[in-house]
Amino acid sequence: MSYNGRCPNNTTVTTQPIPFRSDSNLRLHKAGMRSTLPRRAVLDTVTATDQHRSAEEIRRALADRGIELPRSSVNNILGRLAEACLIGRTDTLPG
């Protein structure tokens, strides 16, 4: 399914300006995902650096930007972004 800025009933989609990289919205839509504020925020935070970050580090970085999300939500979003191949996943073993 492609996203062309119109809903199936041919009405124009209006969105609020987002304080994030503009390509996040497009990348999410191309992957078949809805572009929500939490998803854009997590995607931007993850792709802003080449360093691996834990879900807790991402949650704290978002909180510093004024976006409060529970760690469980961050984990869920990270899982969905990885399933859509928008980010990589690094599994760490305890110890």
Interval 44-80: pLDDT, tens? 999 988 888 999 999 999 999 999 999 999 999 999 9
Q: Is 62 within 8 Å of 42 (Cβ atoms)?
A: yes
With a threshold of 0.75, does the pTM exceed it?
A: no
pLDDT, one tens digit per residue, over 1-36 is 333 344 444 444 433 444 555 689 999 999 999 999
